Structure 1
């Protein structure tokens, strides 16, 4: 029996932000020919009614199971509707679109800096529909012919800013609804890449390895309904039948439970706002290092990074060396949150420099993982009080598929303005290729401008090695980076070992 003979499904297909239901014509016809009921959504001009429009389609569907397929903006109203019909929705398919969190706005999905800037300044502005040559600003156009791009523009209308700036409200109700991800590899996403995220142990990715979640890949760009409708239709039919590749859960403890690779004695801790200070036994104002955790991390995550063994370990090591080890909990929850996290960091620096236990003229900033992009303003305009910056297994440019990152957060572009500011960079030799490429680009920029980058290499270590690989090489890399940072902070007051 063919898969098509078993389908008793209603598909609700939603895209956006500029397009309407006619975008799906080639897929809708094929799904219908396979025996499915199909509803391709054309949303009204009022974003507050979009979830209700999806609800009416769910309620009116004749098929016993409903599968929601969300592409780009279309995923948001589908999720808002699905949370109210969890008993009716059999599966949610994310088509080349990452799962949003509660409070996310669709604007975070858009990689176009011009649209980001326009709606930051004028949230109600009307966003013009792209011309045929402009679609690459909004996603990979791989696989599309010039005729396809002409059709995309012909099918499109300007998008009200309120559609893209209205936050999505979610509850935990959707956790029980099965889901599928269809990844378009030309957009930079792959099943192997998602598996790496799950294997990292970071808590926000573990649900992707649930048995109810399946994955598919299409070798095309962001608009597969035009570039490969036959392959997309096949993937949707298999997804509805519960197919797809399953991921392997992380085999180690969650990242936030893993022990630090070095022993570090507990030090007195003082919590002030978003910052914890781990205080040395030494008297008088002391140099300080502000530790900036990676991300993005989910909102409401507990424990927060300042209570993770990893950052407690670094802060306690610093305190044991006579410095103030400070840990910041910042609000990098989504890819569009780098400006917010940067504001949190600036506030923390001000708090730190105003503390009487801290020498305000001897501060270092130490960035980890996805916080690497937050280096940019400190490289672009180094302050006299900033004695060095450090970055451990950092992300130093937006990764493939990272839509919505403010283009101001570009460490390599800022590096020529860093002057003699020391940069202590710890590189994991077994880093993922995507992150390794950003580090290589940063080092190329450093060579080009003569920046003062000190490289700490850990050739046999992976991302997050300082809390997952208790090897001598891992411990040695942490010690070497620590020595370099401490050396740059030494000055008027000796720093004891």
Structure 2
């Protein structure tokens, strides 16, 4: 059996692993929980002089102790949760020859040269820490969360009330130096096997990671290496508290080399965003101006326009860009075939903090379209897809008179802490209360990921409370991006219904 070294995350100490560690030990594994300097003690503990290097040394000392007790040939599995992956990686880089596997529990792999602060999901916390570092240096500490504040750091789904009370009572300030000192890696640990444990209630799934690989995100490309495996757990960010037995089982399976492997784009059929559109639509003329494409109908008088807004985030430099994806082109050609101007565009939603500039790109594209003499500027519809759904909030909150309809297909309509916090401006669930009489269409897929599906239901509930004008087109057997993944009669009928609904509002 392997020897496991378990390293906790921000504000927490070895105590969070107690239940999972006991289950690993009962299965015959060796278990060692790292006591990181300054964490796991009282809330008023001193934090001065403690940095990432301090914690790397803590883990190195434990590795050396385990080797001395269990023998130099004993395989060691390093497990890091949340911030804990940074000292794990730093230690593995210096003892690579003694490490059998690294396991990242609901956290991404740290990057050489990047501080742990870069992985903190809340931008306000990043700003606070950076500001304090400028004034105080790295000797202070970030206050431990109050009981109701843990959600800022990850989903607390599944944690028993007593366990959440204990988590809060035993939480310690996080030394600023642990967040500010960059992780330095030589590359020695790069060849080690890695397993990621994704907690789905915190917004991460294997499907989502595969999608990022398919999009060509350079940060995610290494995750398609055969040495990398994945597991999912249906719980929040602290599985050692919510599902300790299941987490222990996953850790044992990871040590045995099990887990789901991602597929490199070149070794599989085309990813969803590059597969053919499910309808046969004609190759109508396209005009390209900057980041905007217009698909023009055969008409002499100004025509209404439908602006299709892609989802994301999409990595900068991904090719082809979204406006050349078959589904978006298919929708735009379909609209043009029916007598409207179909519009696609590329916007700069490359990360979760990019929504403001993506919103500016969409607004600029709409104005460019309305200024075109072939477009009836008083009859415009906006149609959002997937993660682009959050961009609908601005238009719901203050719908202009010329916006005749707003549609959204398998949309994200509220942000999730596990994805990285988004500016509160981009929250369609609350914005719909100001939509007035604006007609709204939601295309809802039955096989949506739960984390996205719940945002749609929250939106529909909010819309019902304010009597918003909302129509729903259901695709019971459809998946996210069903127009290319599920070319069934049910899917085709849903696209027809949605398009005719939008065009019907433009004809009024």
2:415 is the alignment partner of 1:415: no
Residue among 307, 320, 323 paired with 2:324: 307
String of CA shifts for 1:216-262, please: whole Å, max 9, x gaps. 45576533455666764554344233234567999753113210112
Deviation at 1:362, TM superposition (A): 2.8
C-alpha offsets along residues 346-390 of structure 1, whole Å, 9 cap, x if unaligned? 333344334455443332211112222221121111122322111
CA deviation digits over 1:45-66, x for unaligned, max 9?
A: 7999737964996698565666
SS at match of 2:131: coil
Quote the residue 2:85 is aligned against: 75
Indicate conservation of the 8 Å contact 1:108/1:335, yes or no: no
2-side partners of 1:351 and 1:77: how far apart?
50
How does 1:149-160 map onto structure 2 within 5 Å? Answer: 149-150=165-166, 152-158=168-174, 160=176
Task: Supply the distance in 1 between the matched residues of 2:378 and 2:183 (Cα, whole angstroms).
Answer: 43
User: Is 2:365 aligned against 1:371?
Assistant: no
What's the CA shift for 1:487?
Answer: 2.7
Q: Match for residue 389 of structure 1?
A: 406
Report the CA distance shift for 1:83/1:363 in structure 2 as closer, same or farther (over 3 A). Answer: farther
What is the 5 A alignment of 1:65-104?
67-75=77-85, 90-98=100-108
How do residues 343-492 of structure 1 correspond to structure 2 at under 5 angstroms? 343-398=360-415, 401-490=418-507
TM-score by length of 1: 0.75
RMSD: 4.7
Is 1:163 aligned with 2:173? no
Displacement, 1:26? 7.7
The one of 191, 196, 206 aligned to 1:194? 206
Separation in structure 1 between the aligned mates of residue 329 and residue 183 of structure 2, nearest angstrom: 34
* TM-aligned CA distance change 1:184 to 1:82, over 3 Å: same
Q: Contact 1:31 / 1:38 at 8 angstroms: preserved in 2?
A: no
* Whole-angstrom CA distance in 2 between matches of 1:131 and 1:360: 51
CA deviation after TM superposition for structure 1 residue 401, in Å: 4.4
CA, structure 1 residues 121+289, in 2 after alignment: closer, same or farther (shift >3 Å)?
farther
TM-aligned CA distance change 1:177 to 1:197, over 3 Å:
same
Identify if the C-alpha distance between structure 1 residues 41 and 272 changes in structure 2 by more than 3 Å, giving closer, same or farther. farther
Paired position in structure 1 for 2:44: none
How far apart are residue 41 of structure 1 and its match? 4.7
What secondary structure sits across from 1:371 in the alignment? helix
8 Å CA contact retained: 1:330, 1:345: yes
Moved more, 59-68 or 136-145: 59-68
Contact (CA 8 Å) 2:305, 2:379: kept in 1 or not? yes
Deviations 1:194-222, CA, capped at 9 Å, x for gaps = 35875999546898676544444557653
State how far apart, in whole Å, the 1-side matches of 2:348 and 2:112 are.
14
Provide the C-alpha distance between the structure 2 equivalents of 1:486 and 1:344, rounded to a whole number of angstroms.
24
The verdict on how the C-alpha distance between 1:252 and 1:283 changes in structure 2, with shifts beyond 3 A counting, is same
Aligned pairs for 1:39-54 within 5 A: 41-42=36-37, 50=52, 54=56
Which structure 2 residues correspond to residues 331-350 of structure 1 after superposition, within 5 A? 331-350=348-367
Q: Which residue of 2 aligns with 1:15?
A: 9
SS of residue paired to 2:293: strand
Question: What CA distance in whole angstroms lies between the structure 2 residues aligned with 1:167 and 1:266?
Answer: 51
The number of aligned residues is: 477
2:146 maps to 131
**Residues 89/358 of structure 1: CA separation in 2 closer, same or farther (3 Å cut):** farther
Shift of 1:448: 2.5
Q: 1:170 to 1:450 in 2, by over 3 A?
A: farther
Q: Secondary structure at the match of 2:379?
A: strand
Q: State the alpha-carbon separation in 2 of the partners of residues 85 and 287 from structure 1.
A: 64
Residue in 2 that maps onto 1:494 = none
| Bigger Cα displacement from structure 2, 128-137 vs 369-378 | 128-137
Distance change in 2, residues 1:10/1:472 (3 Å): closer
Structure 1 position 104, deviation (Å): 9.1
1:222 partner SS = coil
Structure 1's 52 and 445: CA in aligned 2 closer, same or farther, altered over 3 A?
same
Cα deviation for residue 292 of structure 1 reads: 1.1
The Cα of 1:419 is off from its aligned counterpart by 0.7
- Out of 254, 273, 276, the residue aligned to residue 259 of structure 1 is 276
Q: Bigger shift: 412-421 or 93-102? A: 93-102
In the alignment, structure 2 segments of 5+ residues that lack a partner are 40-46, 133-140
The normalised TM-score by structure 2 is: 0.74
Q: Is the 8 A contact 1:338 1:374 kept in 2?
A: yes
- Specify whether residues 458 and 174 from structure 1 end up closer, same or farther in structure 2 by C-alpha distance, changes over 3 A only: farther
Question: Deviation string for 1:73-131 (max 9, x for gaps)?
Answer: 333565688789988865332212356899998668656xxx54454588424743213
The more displaced of 367-376 and 315-324 is 315-324
